[in-house]
Amino acid sequence: MPSRPRVVAFSGSAKRPSRTRILVEALGAELGRLRPIDLAVYDLLDAGPGLGATQRHDLSAPAERLIAAIEGADALIVGTPVYQGGYAGLFKHVFDFVDPARMAGKPVVLTATGGGLRHALVVEHSLRPLFGFFAAHVAPTSVYAGSDDLVDGRILDRTVAARLEAAAAELASLIDLARPPGSGPTN
How distant, in Å, are the alpha carbons of 47, 76, 133 from that of 62? Answer: 5, 19, 26
Nearer to ligand FMN, 5 or 79 (CB): 79
d(CA 127, CA 66): 19
6, 9, 10, 19: which one binds ligand FMN (CB under 6 A): 19
Burial of 60 (0-12, 13-18, 19+ CB in 10 A): middle
Nearer to ligand FMN, 159 or 183 (CB): 159
Residue 84 touching ligand FMN (CB under 6 A): yes
Q: Least Å distance between CB 62 and ligand FMN?
A: 19
Three-state DSSP class for residue 86: strand
89, 100, 116, 140: which one binds ligand FMN (CB under 6 A): 116
82, 139, 164, 168: which one binds ligand FMN (CB under 6 A): 82
